[in-house]
Every structure is written in C-alpha cells, then in structure tokens.
Structure 1
Amino acid sequence: MGNTLFFTATDVGHGTELWKSDGTQAGTGRVKDIVPGPGSAFPGDVEMVGTPFVNLDGILLFFVDQSIGAGASGLELWKSDGTEAGTVRVMAHPAWGAEGYPQFVHVSGGQVLFVAGDAAHGAELWRSDGTEAGTGLVVDLAPGPASSIEGALGSFGGLFYFFGHTGDGDSELWRTDGTAAGTTRVRDIRPGAEGSSFGYQAIAVIGDGAFFFEADDGVHGVELWKSDGTEVGTVLVKDITPGAESSTFSSKRWVDGRLFLSLFTSSGGELWKSDGTEGGTARIKVVSPPSVGAAPSWFREVNGLLLFRSADAAATAYSNTAELWRSDGTEAGTVMVKDITPGAAGSVMDLYKSGGTLFFTANDGVSGRELWKSDGTEAGTVMVKDIAPGGASSLSVRKFLDVNGTLFFLADETGSARPFQLWRSDGSEAGTVRVKDVSLSEPEGPPEPEGPRDRGCSASPGSPLGWAFLTLLPLSLRRRRDE
C-alpha cells in the first residue's frame, strides 16, 4: 500500500475511527466512520494489549469493538485497503475478548496469527488470511476453557514461538507454523509440573541463527537462554547470577554481531555483552550506582554502536537523571554522548531510530521537552526543532514511527499537552512540519517503558507495533521480515 500511514484519531461528531495519511495535509483523512455518528470503533475504555493492527500482505487487519449500543455484536475482525469501500468486516465473534483484547503476534505465509480468548477455549492461537472462511482456531492446546498461552515470544525463521502448556500448567517453549499439526513443543526446559516461563516476555534479539530469551530451569533461576528452534539447540547461555538466584534483565539488542544486555545488580546498573557462548558473555561496565535503582535502557543501534539511556555514576535517583550514552562493547568505549541537561538533572527519553538517525525527546532546561537527534557523537547530538517555542514542551508523550526514512510523531505546538497533532520530520528544522490538525488524545496511564521494538520482534513496517489504540502504523512493506 505504498507509503500510507494508518492511525486512529478523533474528530467532532465521529468518535475515534481509522484514519490514514501520505504525509501531506490533503492526503490525511478518515478512512471510514465504522461506528456511525459519535460512537467509536476504538473506544478508550478498551484495554488493548500489544496492538490491534497488523499488515498482512498490504492489507490492514484490525479489531473493532461493536459492543456499545443496540444490536452490538462485540469484537469484530476487520480489514482495509485504505478506501472506504474496501474497509469491511471479516468476521464477528461475540466472545472474543473474554481473556483480554485480541493480540496480533505473527505474520507469515499469507496469514496472521493472533491470541484471543472465548469462554469455550480460553486464550489460544487463532489464524486469519483476511477472509471469514480462513479465520479460525489454530489448536485448542489446553482443551476446554483453560488458557494455554502464557508468553508470546515472537517470530523466528518463519515460525511463531511462545510459552504455553496443554492444560497442566507446565508452561514451556513451543513453536507453530499456524497449523495444528505444526504446533509442537521445542524443549521441556524445566522438567516437572512448574514450567520454565515466568510471565510475558518477547524475543530479545535474533542474530547468528538463534534467538535469545529468558527462562527458569529450576536450578539456575531466570537466566539468558538461546534457541535455534530445535530441542538440542535450546540451551542456557550463562548463569550470570550464580546459583538459584535470578538475573534481573532490562534491555537487550543485537548490534554488530553481539548481544548487548543490561542488568540491575547490587553493584548498580550494568551493561553486558554476549556472543551466545558462556565464555563470550561478560560485563562491560557498571554504568550507574545502586542508588539509581535501574539498569541502562532504550537500546538502539546507530552506525554500529549501541546508543542507550542511563544515569551516570554521580546520580542518586533514576527519575530525571538519565542522559544519552553509547558503547562499542568495551569499557573505555562506553561513555556519555552528551550532557544535555548539565549537572545532576537528566533529560533523555524515548529513543527511536528512523532512516539511520536516532531521534529522542529531551529537555535541555531552556526549551522544554522537544525533538532531538544524534549520530552517536557529541557534536551530532542536537535539537531538531523547538516546536513549542520557549520553555513549553511539545513532546510530553511519545509516538514515533518510521515510514521509509521519514519520522512521524505526535506533538503539540502550543505546549498545552492536549490535543496532539500529527507531525513529520526528515531530521532538519525546516523539514519538521505539522501534517494535519486532528485530535489525537493520549490514553491515561504511563507508556510502556521500552516499547515492543525492545522486546525484540521485527521493527520493520508491517510488524505488530505499538502498545495502545492511538498507534501510528505504516503499510509500506508487503510482508514482515525477521531481523
């Protein structure tokens, strides 16, 4: 669908509906008033975990809540080609949502997999090819009303990996190709009844023929594991915190042939690296003291370097003390890029890579929280534009998305924090402009600290992206790619 950006927005008289944009004011508008009148297809009182949108071979699939009003049919699966006539219902299932809002988790081979629950099956894997006939349950792994899915890891090698069980609560690593016969357990990491899963997580990175994740084998606590998708190739990388005590991981990112990861220990916030072997897994540096109470976060790769957010050794608390750092994998090469807010205060948040440039928000103490960029050097770390002039902040919340090298985001040039408008930027002050003035209200509550890209699934356009229903989504690739 070319360079079309899909998002949800609210305007007077129509509620929150599906919109699209080609990056111009004239090309930005509502696709369809799915719930006619002031009703909303994406009501704010629905808790959407993961994302309700996905790109299936150039067609947008999404869920609509029709549960409000007379004759309502509950949650429905819809599709859109970007036109009003081509935005139609695929299938209605009144019981979808019984175990939480449906979540798209994998796209491959002309179909999408999603996790949905109903009273008869609990939370299980479903599939759809965008037609009603091609939409159905993959397998009732835990027969009956019990839920089998306990952790949706992500995609690797065209298959979807997850933590699940067959009704006995022994949650282990599984994989599926979207068929019942092709849904099999990879390895019983923790023999017995307890299972090795410890809650929701996603694949950290994919690199050199394996993916990395966290599991508890009952002996070493929660530690770093890797898998190539086979039983024999699913192994513990290293018992980083020796014995039964668990390691507390924060962020992970594959950069230039190695895994970077952060932990919080009694020594403080630590940066580690791994080549996937026990001997090649080692601490790089203690970046922040224990008093900060947090590890380095928001890992991004730029020009072969790891860029991240962290407090420094002088910090006494995590809040408002973090600046931009970089690492080349050595202790000497792990340094602060720039002290944007000099002194004990810090400012950096929301790191996002677009078109080879790292964008983020920062408050330098003069201009408020605005859009910044960095190439990993002090001289190349600058404010892009003071969108809300003076000390007001235009970016008190963050919604960044790359569409073929152009950054789209939400901002408020008045500094009043609501409503937000759709903006775009090519990284220059002149090229940072408002696309359209529409009401883009932010849901209450804090945003997810890292965002799904830090959970390791592909960040390519067309992937499941975002954490809430006010998410900008591109349809600029025909199919998702595994990183």
Structure 2
Amino acid sequence: MAASTAATVAVACVAMFQAVTKEGDRALYFSDGATTKKLIDLVDAPGADAYSFTSVGKGNVLFSNTSEAAGRELWITNGAAAGTRLLKDINPGAASSSPGGGWSASRNTRFETIGDRAIFPAVTKLQGHEMWTSDGTAAGTQILTDQLPGPGNGAGHPPANPLVFSNGAFAIYSDFGSNIWATHGIGGEQVLKWKSGVAIYPGLGTVGNRILFGPDLWVTNGTAARTRSLKPASSPNWRVWSISRLRGMPYALLSVTTNSVDSRELWVTDGTEGGTKRLGNVNLYNWGSNNDPFVKIGSKVYFVATNVIANNPAGQELWVTQGTAATTKRAVVLAPTPQFTSFAPLGSKLYFTAKATQEGYSFAVNRAFVTDGTTAGTRMLSTLLTPAGPLLSLHNRVVFPVSSSGQVALWAAGSGLAAPVKVSYNFSKIVGMQNVEIRSPNGVNTPCAK
C-alpha cells in the first residue's frame, strides 16, 4: 500500500506496470482505472524489466529500472514523462546496484517504506551488498549502515537478498550473520542476535504498532528491551508460516502448524504470550511460503479455509473473523467449489478471482467475483473474462489483466460501472503491476484506498 502523502500535494492512485506490445516494444504505463497512459519507453533487453514501484510521498514513485549507461539502478517518477529519470547511480558506472534485488511473482518488491522514506538492499563495488534508504532525492539516497565495512556483503549477498519488513513506523531486516536489526530509516539498532543460520522468514506481520517475525514468533517494538518470544511452551513443534499484515489492528492472524503432519491452523495473537491461541477449529488453505491473504474490510478480516465441513471435504471457502472464536465463521460458499487466486478490498466490498467449473467448460476457468461477505451477495463479474493476474485496488475501482486470444489487456470494475470495462490497449505481456500514488494531473486528490 502506498505511503502517506503530504496534504498540500494532490495525488492520484494508479496501477503502474511494464507492458510489451505485440510488436515487441517495451514501455512503462499507468492506469487510473478509466484510462491507461504510456509513461516512457524501456530498454529492450533480457532482464531489463522495470519493477518494485514504491510511493515515497508527494506523488513520487521509486522503482528499479535499467539503462545502457548505468545498468539496473534507482529511478523516480511523478507520473509525467519529464519527471521520470534515474534518481541515483548507486553503483557508479555501467555496473548495476540492483536496488531491491530481483523481481518474482511471489514477492514483487523488496522496497519497504518508513513514513516517506524507502528502505531496500543494493550493491556497490566499495561497500558490497548493504541496506540503503531514499527520500526521493539524490542527496537523500544513501547507505543506511555498512554492516560489514568494506566490499563484504553485510546484508547478505545476491541473489539471497536480505529480508526487510516495515510497519510504516520502523523496519526490521536481517544481515548476513543472521542478526536482526531495526531502523527508523536513518540508522540501524541491533534488536537481537538470533541463532546463527536461522532466518526471520517465514512469518512477518504486524500487531498494533509492533512487528511480528519468525517461524517461532517473536514480537518487537524496534528495541532490544521490548523484543520477546511468543511461542507457546506447550507446543514444541509449533511453527508459524505466515502472519497478517493489517496495520493498526489490535490482533494478528497466524497460519500455524503444530507438528509435521497437521494442516495449517488459524491462530490469533495480541502480541502477548497469553493472547496467542488457536482460533476455533479452522484449517487454512496452504498458499505455500508466501503470505496467506488476510484481507481487511472495516472491522472484519477475510481468509480462505479448507477441509472444514463434511459435505465439502476438499474445497475452499471464504471465511471471516473479528479476532475471536465467536466471530470466526464461514462467510461465502460457491458452488462448485473454487480455487481462490487473488483478492482486492474496495470500500465495503471484496473483489476476488477464483478458478471454478463453469457451464460449457470441461475444466476450471479463472473468473472475477465481487461479494458483500455473504453467499447471496456474491456474484461473478463476467462469464467471459479470464483474469490473467492479480486484482489491484485503486481509489474507487479495481483493475486486473485479462487474457484473450494470446493477448492481455487491463480491465476495471467498481464505482460507476455496471460491468467490467476494458481500459487499456492489447499487449503481449503485463509485468509487475502495483498500486502507487503519482501527482494528480488534474489537481483532484484521489489517493489509494486504505
């Protein structure tokens, strides 16, 4: 989600992405859910994708991009072609600093934000692989701290990038020696020297104004004195696989296994040992090592469960909770049972994509849906559109790529639309789409939905 933006600067929430035309031209685009505009042309070379789009306030967006002269470096845009440029050649010359590391479908950014600053790993010849920070200016783009002085890799080494995670107020990250550090964006404090060789991932999330981390579940407020373990003493094989990342919530949801054969159970924590407990008889769907999608709408959190009722032994269902056993219940059941693929909250509605068997098809097809949190209030947006990527929330609409006849285009649903509409040209590929806040071209303030 985009960082907070100064009130004096009107911003527009857009989906920024790289696309390739059928002629093979590569360029950077953005869409506000009504129209799609080309920003700049990109280098046409293998591995030259633009990604890690990250808002840093005042309508500015940082991203990782490649040029022939500087290699892969830190770029900035305000949503105008004239305002899109190389911000700083962190590793001077043609060699790349690779800010944020490599892009992947499972983790499409390694930039985190603390207020209006970004924190990310980068490589230089003189300092090796370390953590850097930027406020969107060249002068304000600097090394955070040289963990291992000289050309050694203090913050891990490529391609095994260090993990960094922020709750908006402070961030934690791991160094090459498996120490855990906390920072407010201008320097690092060592929180805890953890067992050598043990990573802080899987398991990174938030509860209140604190950060939860690690498969054994630790909690910190960014100081060593207030960093402690929450692992239940009664469950020696207890392991956290993912944690909700819902800022400002008084509780966090956990995906947990208690032995090597159990399915993933739903647990809850308020950041204390006594408040860390199993939340009813619910088995979470196993999304792998990525963060399970816990989606907040108002005071409710939605998630996917499986194997929870006798007449649906192998299917997936949409469940809801408000952090207690009494409020944890099945919300939506679709027939036939779908396989959920992505979620996007918008106002009081939840948009999602799911693969399900549809009349006229002998196989499961991916379709887009919207729900008010009830089975009766759930409907398919179109029986013809096949989403080819995740849904993304903007100001008052959601956008998603749709594939058809070997091509892909951006479509939108939401405010003012009775049915989804096409809002872009046809491309051969859309890559790395993220929602960010650029300077509003018409002076109207339409920030990203929070």
Query: CA offset at residue 13 of structure 1?
Result: 5.0
**Correspondence for 1:19:** 29
Q: What is the rounded CA distance, in whole Å, between the counterparts of 2:100 and 2:168 in structure 1?
A: 29
The equivalent of 1:56 in structure 2 is: 56
Match of 2:5 in 1: none
Shift in Å at residue 247 of structure 1?
A: 1.0
What is residue 423 of structure 2 aligned with on the other side?
Answer: 435
Asked whether the 8 Å contact 1:375–1:381 carries over to 2, the reply is yes
1:133, distance to aligned residue in structure 2 (A) = 3.8
CA gap 1:277/1:4 in 2 versus in 1, 3 angstroms: closer
Q: Provide the rounded CA distance (Å) in 2 between the counterparts of 1:294 and 1:60.
A: 28
**What secondary structure does 1:232 align onto?**
helix
How far 1:428 sits from its partner (Å)? 7.7
Matched with 1:160 is 171
| Structure 1 residues 61 and 256: alpha-carbon distance in aligned structure 2, compared to 1, 3 A threshold | closer
* Per-residue deviation, residues 295-339 of structure 1 (Å, max 9, x unmatched): 994211234222111212468999x83222223444464333333
- Structure 1 residues 349 and 314: CA distance shift in structure 2, 3 A: same
- In structure 2, the partner of 1:148 is 154
| Of 56, 77, 87, the match for 2:74 | 77
The aligned counterpart of 2:180 is 173
Q: Which secondary structure does the structure 1 equivalent of 2:296 belong to?
A: strand
Question: Which structure 2 residue ranges, 5 or more long, are not aligned?
Answer: 1-10, 104-108, 157-161, 360-364, 440-444
- Distance, in Å, in 1 between the alignment partners of 2:327 and 2:155 is 41
Alignment match, 1:136: 142
Equivalent-residue separation in structure 2 for 1:29 and 1:81 (angstroms): 13
What is the distance in 2 between the residues matched to 1:309 and 1:109?
Answer: 31
TM normalised by structure 2 equals 0.78
Distance 1:399 1:9 in 2: 15
Residue identity over aligned pairs, in percent, reads 27
Residue number in structure 2 paired with 1:124:
130
Q: Is the 8 A contact 1:75 1:95 kept in 2?
A: yes
How far has the Cα of 1:135 moved from its partner?
Answer: 2.9
Matched with 1:404 is 395
Letter in 2 for 1:233: R
What secondary structure sits across from 1:298 in the alignment? coil
Q: In the alignment, does 2:200 pair up with 1:212?
A: no
Provide the rounded CA distance (Å) in 2 between the counterparts of 1:356 and 1:24: 21
Tell me, which stretches of 5 or more residues in structure 1 are unaligned? 215-221, 389-393, 443-468
Q: Return closer, same or farther for 1:267/1:295 CA change in 2, 3 Å cut-off.
A: farther
- For residues 53-83 of structure 1, give each alpha carbon's deviation from its aligned partner in whole angstroms, at most 9, with x where no partner exists: 222221122222235xxxx431132222222
Relative contact order (C-alpha < 8 Å, sep 6+): which is higher?
2
The CA distance in 1 between the partners of 2:408 and 2:53, in whole Å, is: 21
Inter-CA distance 79–332: structure 2 relative to 1 (3 Å threshold): closer
How many residue pairs are counted as aligned between the two chains? 410
Task: Kindly indicate whether residue 387 of structure 2 is the aligned counterpart of residue 425 of structure 1.
Answer: no
Provide the residue aligned with 2:159 in structure 1: none
2:303 is aligned with 1:308:
yes
Instruction: Provide, for residues 458-480 of structure 1, a one-character-per-residue CA deviation record: whole Å limited to 9, x for no partner.
Output: xxxxxxxxxxx4313321599x9
The whole-number CA distance in structure 2 between the counterparts of 1:126 and 1:296 is 24
- Given that 1:262 and 1:295 are in contact with CA atoms closer than 8 Å, whether structure 2 keeps it comes out as no
Q: Note the alpha carbon deviations across 1:33-70, whole angstroms, 9 max, x for none.
A: 243xxx25xx5x3688xx52222221122222235xxx
1:10 matched to which residue of 2? 20
| 1:458 counterpart residue number | none
Q: Is the 8 A contact 1:303 1:375 kept in 2?
A: no
**For 1:30-429, what aligned pairs fall within 5 Å after superposition?**
30-35=38-43, 39=44, 43=46, 45=47, 51-57=51-57, 58-67=59-68, 72-92=69-89, 93=91, 94-97=95-98, 100-101=101-102, 104-108=110-114, 110-149=116-155, 151-156=162-167, 158-164=169-175, 169=177, 171-179=178-186, 182-190=187-195, 194=196, 197-198=198-199, 200-201=201-202, 203-207=204-208, 209-214=209-214, 222-239=215-232, 242-243=235-236, 245-254=237-246, 257-265=250-258, 266-288=261-283, 297-313=292-308, 321-331=315-325, 333-342=327-336, 345-366=337-358, 368-388=365-385, 394-395=386-387, 397-412=388-403, 414=404, 416=405, 418-426=406-414
Deviation at 1:124, TM superposition (A): 0.6
Residue 436 of structure 2 corresponds to residue 474 of structure 1 = yes
Instruction: Say whether the 8 Å CA contact 1:251–1:298 is kept in structure 2.
Output: no
User: Matched residue of 1:137: which SS?
Assistant: strand
With 99-108 and 149-158 compared, the bigger mean Cα shift is at 99-108
Q: C-alpha displacement at 1:108, in angstroms?
A: 4.0
Q: Is the 8 A contact 1:362 1:371 kept in 2?
A: yes
Please, what is the CA RMSD of the aligned residues?
3.7
- 1:125 is paired with a residue whose SS is strand
One-letter amino acid matched to 1:177 = H
Contact 2:32 2:394 in 1 (8 A): no
Verify the 8 A CA contact 1:297 1:310 in the aligned structure 2: no
Q: 1:359 to 1:298 in 2, by over 3 A?
A: same
Q: Distance in 1 between matches of 2:374 and 2:167?
A: 33
